[in-house]
Amino acid sequence: MRGAVEARLRQLEGLLRGRGLPLTMQRREILKAVVERNDHPTADQVFDAVKDRLPRLSRTTVYRVLDRLVTLGVIRRLHHPGAGTRFDGKIDRHHHLFCRSCGCVIDVASSAVEDVSLPPASRHGFHVEDFSVHFVGVCPDCRRKASS
Amino acid sequence: MRGAVEARLRQLEGLLRGRGLPLTMQRREILKAVVERNDHPTADQVFDAVKDRLPRLSRTTVYRVLDRLVTLGVIRRLHHPGAGTRFDGKIDRHHHLFCRSCGCVIDVASSAVEDVSLPPASRHGFHVEDFSVHFVGVCPDCRRKASS
DNA sequence: CTCCGTGCAAAAGGTTTGCACTGGT
DNA sequence: ACCAGTGCAAACCTTTTGCACGGAG
């Protein structure tokens, strides 16, 4: 999976160069931190993960860089029940399982979900570009605890 | 649509009485404020909508009452991209169109979306109870502005 | 009468902003 | 050298908490 991270860094570099923006250490390390984990970290968790490598890093920068990465389309903002904003290193279409018991979020590959479409007449003139499905239920861990 | 609001107030009254909880003016007015609008107000917007009728109302109470209404299942919490927590007066299954330009949210009737399910092999032991679909795109207003 | 609910004020997060300095190109 | 990015501190906004009073059942 190391190669995947390298690929994302190159993607970031390309997007930044295309706009004449600098590729800083902070952007590199923050992107790595988000992509390397498959949970969905908050800005604060990203800060914690990166601060060892960049001791002078400020929380402000984490917010600003995450925002920039979202704008560039390198990562996604995730709207997590309960807690604050979270970030998701995956950018291919995928869906989420939200556990209503412990609040965790599990990714589901898009291919595991049958295609979703809206009848054109129901769109109210809304131009739909993408979608994601939020499944709500109980995760394996919580089911195990509940049955014991 | 006035009748619908009355019905929801009776529903609230029943749920509260069943638990020996009082039906206060604040709970009545806050529920009305959420149900009467078809957008998805924040706690602060609810406060603004109700403060004329209840001049001594405090923001704290709005938060507490909204929370209680969610617990009772009379309204739903909505996890909205960008902004803070929003509340949705509809409790039947429906989906949402999120405008990435202005941030507004439009309801979609559930019947307009084909049923979505996960193949059993993809559930990783997760027990799915419900789902909702988040469509992302551009709303009619923003499309109009963009084309001019 | 008894609790729960409410209002107020203050605290607690989480996120944003202004400004001077640093760093990538 | 230039301009965007960064760090710091303070501001901001939303949400939560402690405590005394007031109102519904």
Concatenating the DSSP letter of every residue in A102-135 gives: T--EEEEEGGGS------GGGSTT-EEEEEEEEE
What pLDDT digit, counting tens, does each position of A24-40 carry? 999 999 999 999 998 88
Q: Quick one: B69 and B101 in the same domain?
A: no
CA–CA separation, A25 and A29 (whole Å)? 6
Q: Please say if the pLDDT value at position B2 is more than 80.
A: no
What pLDDT digit, counting tens, does each position of B36-51 carry? 998 889 999 999 999 9
Among A42-46, A100-104, B24-28, the minimum mean pLDDT is found in A100-104
| CB-contacts to strand D (7 A) | A 20-22, 24-27, 54, 56-58, 60-61, 64-65, 68; B 20, 22-25, 42-44, 59-60, 63-64, 67, 84-85
- Residue A73 within any structural domain of the chain: yes
**What pLDDT is recorded for position A28?**
98
Residue A100 sits in a domain whose CATH number is 3.30.1490.190
- Pick from A88, A127, A90: nearest CA to B98: A127
For β-strands B76-78 and B94-99, DSSP reports them as: unpaired
**What pLDDT is recorded for position B98?**
83
Q: In Å, what is the separation between the CA of A34 and the C1' of D12?
A: 27
pLDDT higher for A83 or A60? A60
- Print the domain residue range for A129: 92-147
What three-state secondary structure class fits A86? strand
Q: Please say if the pLDDT value at position A122 is more than 70.
A: no
**Cross-chain residue pair B126–A81, CB shorter than 8 Å:** no
**What pLDDT is recorded for position A73?**
93
Q: Quick one: A74 and A96 in the same domain?
A: no
What percentage of residues in chain B have a pLDDT greater than 90? 57
Of A51, A78, A105, the domain-final residue: A78
Q: Quick one: B71 and B125 in the same domain?
A: no
- Give the closest of B118, B136, B139 to A135, CB-based: B118
- Residue B96 within any structural domain of the chain: yes
Strand C and A23 CB separated by under 7 Å: yes
Task: Name the band, by pLDDT with cuts 50, 70 and 90, for residue A52.
Answer: very high
Q: Which residue has the tokens 């509260």?
A: B16
Optimal mutation site among B118, B132, B139, interface A, most CBs of chain A within 10 A: B118
Q: In Å, what is the separation between the CA of A116 and the C1' of C12?
A: 42
**Cross-chain residue pair A81–B77, CB shorter than 8 Å:** yes
- Residue B97 within any structural domain of the chain: yes
- Residue B87 within any structural domain of the chain: no
pLDDT higher for B24 or B99? B24
Q: Please say if the pLDDT value at position B11 is more than 90.
A: yes
What three-state secondary structure class fits B50? helix
**What pLDDT is recorded for position A105?**
82
User: What's the rounded mean pLDDT across residues B21-30?
Assistant: 98
B103 φψ region: left (φ > 0), alpha (ψ -120 to 50), beta (else): left
- Pick from A56, A124, A137: nearest CA to B126: A137
pLDDT higher for A46 or A134? A46
**What pLDDT is recorded for position A121?**
61
Q: Which residues of B touch A (CB under 8 A)?
A: 77, 79-82, 97, 99-100, 106, 108-109, 112-114, 116-119, 122-140, 143
CA B39, chain centre distance (Å): 8
- The structural domain count of chain A equals 2
Q: How far is B25 from chain A (nearest CA, A)?
A: 27
Q: Mean pLDDT of all residues in chain B?
A: 90
CB-CB neighbors (< 8 A) of A113 in chain B = 116-118
What pLDDT digit, counting tens, does each position of B56-94 carry? 999 999 999 999 999 999 999 988 766 679 999 999 999
**What pLDDT is recorded for position A82?**
67
Q: In Å, what is the separation between the CA of B21 and the C1' of D24?
A: 9
- Give the closest of A99, A108, A131 to B122, CB-based: A108
Q: Quick one: A124 and A101 in the same domain?
A: yes
**What pLDDT is recorded for position B64?**
98
Scored b (16 or more CB within 10 A) or e, A19-39 reads: eeeeeeebbbbbbbbbbeeee
CB-CB neighbors (< 8 A) of B140 in chain A = 124-126
CA–CA separation, A98 and A85 (whole Å)? 15
Beta carbons of A74 and A31 less than 8 angstroms apart: yes
- Give the closest of A77, A113, A123 to B118, CB-based: A113
Q: Quick one: B47 and B113 in the same domain?
A: no
